[in-house]
Amino acid sequence: MEWFHHTKTGIESGVKRDTPSDLWVKCESCKEVVYKSDWVDNLSVCPACGHHHRASAREYIALLTEVDSFREEDSNVSPADPLKFSAKKKYRDSVMSAQKTTGEKSAVVSGTGMMNGQEVSLAVMDFRFMGGSMGSAEGEKIARALQRALDRKIPAIVVSASGGARMHEGTLSLLQMAKTSAVIGRMREAGVPYVSLLTNPTTGGVTASFAMLGDVNIAEPGALIGFAGERVIRETIRQALPDGFQRAEFLLKHGFLDAVVPRKDLKAWISNMLSLLTDRVV
Q: Residue numbers of the site for Zn ion (CB under 5 A)?
A: 27, 29-30, 32, 46, 48-49, 51
SS3 (DSSP) at 53: coil
Minimum Å gap between C-beta 41 and Zn ion is 15
Minimum Å gap between C-beta 44 and Zn ion is 11
Report the C-alpha gap between 207 and 205 in whole angstroms: 5
Single out the residue of 106, 188, 100, 185 nearest to residue 140, CA to CA. 106
Minimum Å gap between C-beta 220 and Zn ion is 15
* 253 backbone dihedrals φ, ψ, rounded to 5°: -60, -30
Minimum Å gap between C-beta 32 and Zn ion is 5
| Residue with Cβ nearer Zn ion (25 or 161) | 25
Query: Nearest 5 degrees, angle CA 181-CA 102-CA 160?
Result: 25
| Residue with Cβ nearer Zn ion (19 or 75) | 19
Which H or E run contains 2? helix 2-6
Minimum Å gap between C-beta 224 and Zn ion is 17
Strand segments, DSSP code E, in the chain are 24-26, 33-35, 71-73, 108-115, 118-125, 156-162, 194-202, 216-219, 259-260
